[in-house]
Structure 1
Amino acid sequence: MQEIRHTPVAPTRTQHLASGACIDAHRHDDHQIIYAGRGTIAVTTVAGTWVTPATRAIWVPAGTVHAHQAHGQLELHLVGVPSRENPLALDEPAVLGVSPLLRELIISHTNAPEGQSDEQLRLRAVLLDQLRLAPQQPLHLPAPSTPLLAEVCDMLRSDPADGRSLAELGRRVGTSERTLSRMFRRDLGMSFTQWRTQMRLHHALVLLSEKTPVTSVAHQCGWSSASTFIDVFRRTFGHTPGSHHNAV
């Protein structure tokens, strides 16, 4: 992220982006809620990437440098929250579960005309109350900070179907399985298997947004069968990839 725009006020609005479109790196003095009503949004910071479907939203704290990328025809809903208000008491990005009520509140609030009518203020108050109840979801794909681990992660991200073991990857980069295992735990806060599964799920969301058939998504992301992929996807997101495919 080179040139960083500073937009002090985080906007509250709805906007539409074509698949592949990007919003460059920028930061706000406000907090922001980012929600994809349709399509899939990837939000990237120096700490890693968050990719979310329409059942999740991303909380971006004030001052966080972040960039967006659209996957599928994106209906993007943005809610700015003044820095003095922090309903989640979070100072780092997080993925939040979005209930049907919270979804409708976000869409209604971001589609409303600009202004501070009594109705808008009441709607916003309910939205923030619901936000406090939103469960956090472990959908963050952390970015490695060391060159050796970055090399391994780049290899896997370039081919999510790569099925090599940690020992095989260690031989490829000239280190041991034990060393790589420690690096994943220390630098990324998760095991190699957890990171690879998370990476594959992120890639699956992107492919589904591009209308790729579920069986092909499973194959391209390295699952042994479509049924295995469907089971992992359902346990993670609460719905099947087929129903997600129809929603994006």
Structure 2
Amino acid sequence: MSNSRHQPTAPTASRELAAAAGVTAHWHDENQIVYASRGVVAVHTETSRWIAPAHRALWIPAGTVHAHRAYGVTQLHFLGLTQNPLKLHEPTALTVSPLLRELLIAYTNMNDRETPAGKRMRSVLLDQIATASEQPVRVPTATDPRLTKVCAMLETDPSDTRGLEALGREAGASGRTLTRLFREDLGMTFPQWRTQLRLYHALRLLAEGQPVTTVAQQCGFATASAFIDVFRRSLGHTPGSYL
């Protein structure tokens, strides 16, 4: 992301992106929340990829270089913030309650936010943001060459069910070494990382209209029921709610 653009002010606005459209790498001097009320938005930073369906928003701290990508026709809502009500300094996925959802949509679509009504809405919006819980779907990026090779294989085929020993034979590392690298380089275990990767791809496919059974198969889940169970435990909703 070396060719990123500097946009000092983080805009507060609503914008529609066509399927597969994106916003190139840039950064702001202000914090920003990105929310998709329709479709699914992925945000790429220099160290991770994040994806947010309609029940999640993404917190992007000031100075973070990031790019957006839409999956399905996506209605984006951007909220720029000079303050940091969450006291978070890393990108984070947040749970969006029904009230927070409506506030984000209404506020980012307002023509004049400096009216008394606009200021009151912003105050309530900040209160809701400050209490939002963290619910990530995050795929961190590997830096070790051996780990990068393993991750690339699974990126190409998320349905690959091989364990670390088998994957390591192609990457030139033992399963024990890779187990250690996942913890040290990515901050999570191999099963945790693979689950996040599969959920990332699953949300993309669901946004593009793929049926649940097809998504489960393409993302490496043994059965549609197993996929639905992991999806619900991780995101709090069934895959069908995203179709």
TM-score, length of structure 1 as denominator length:
0.96
| Alignment partner of 1:195 is 2:193 | yes
Asked if 1:162 is matched to 2:130, the reply is: no
Give the structure 2 partner of residue 120 of structure 1: 118
Instruction: Report the Cα offset of residue 147 of structure 1.
Output: 1.5
Q: Distance in 2 between matches of 1:114 and 1:66?
A: 28
Quote the Cα distance in structure 2 between the aligned partners of 1:116 and 1:3.
35
Aligned to 2:96: 98
For the 8 Å contact 2:32–2:79, the answer to whether it is kept is yes
For these two proteins, the number of residue pairs brought into alignment is 243
Matches within 5 A, 1:79-158: 79-82=79-82, 85-158=83-156
- Looking at structure 2, the residues matched to 117 and 110 of structure 1 have their Cα atoms a distance apart, in angstroms, of 14
> C-alpha distance in 2, partners of 1:147/1:116?
51
Unaligned segments of structure 1, at least 5 residues:
none
User: Within 2, Cα distance between the matches of 1:223 and 1:138?
Assistant: 20
2:8, 2:27 within 8 Å by CA — same for their partners in 1? yes
CA distance in 1, matches of 2:60, 2:9: 13
Percent identity of equivalent pairs = 55
The match for 1:19 is 19
Matched, 1:179 2:177: yes
1:52-91 to 2 correspondences below 5 Å: 52-82=52-82, 85-91=83-89
- C-alpha displacement at 1:151, in angstroms? 1.0
1:129 is displaced (CA, Å) by: 0.5
Q: Give CA-to-partner distance per residue, 1:207-243, whole Å, 9 cap, x none.
A: 0000001000000000000010011111111111112
Aligned equivalents of 2:154, 2:52: Cα separation in 1:
20
Q: State the shift of 1:2 in Å.
A: 3.0
CA distance in 1, matches of 2:138, 2:112: 32
Q: Which amino acid in structure 1 is aligned with residue 231 of structure 2?
A: F
Q: Which of 226, 229, 239 is 1:228 aligned to?
A: 226
Letter in 2 for 1:76: L
Q: Indicate the RMSD between aligned Cα atoms, in angstroms.
A: 0.8
* SS of the residue 2:230 aligns to: helix
After TM superposition, give the deviation of residue 73 of structure 1 in Å. 0.5
Cα distance, 1:115 vs structure 2: 4.1
Please, which runs of 5 or more residues in structure 2 have no aligned partner? none
Q: Could you tell me how far apart the structure 1 residues matched to 2:234 and 2:97 are?
A: 15
The correspondence of residues 25-64 of structure 1 with structure 2, limited to 5 A, is 25-64=25-64
Question: Aligned-pair distance for 1:138?
Answer: 2.9
Provide runs of 4+ in structure 1 moved above 2 Å. none
**Per-residue Cα deviation, 1:61-96 (whole angstroms, up to 9, x for no partner):** 0010000000000000000001xx110001110000
Structure 2 length as normaliser, TM-score?
0.98
- The DSSP-based 3-state class of the residue aligned with 2:23 is strand
User: Relative to structure 1, is the Cα distance of residues 128 and 115 closer, same or farther in structure 2, using a 3 angstrom cutoff?
Assistant: closer
Residue aligned with 2:57, SS: strand
Q: Aligned partners of 1:244 and 1:138: how far apart in 2?
A: 17
- What is the identity, as a one-letter code, of the residue corresponding to 1:221? C
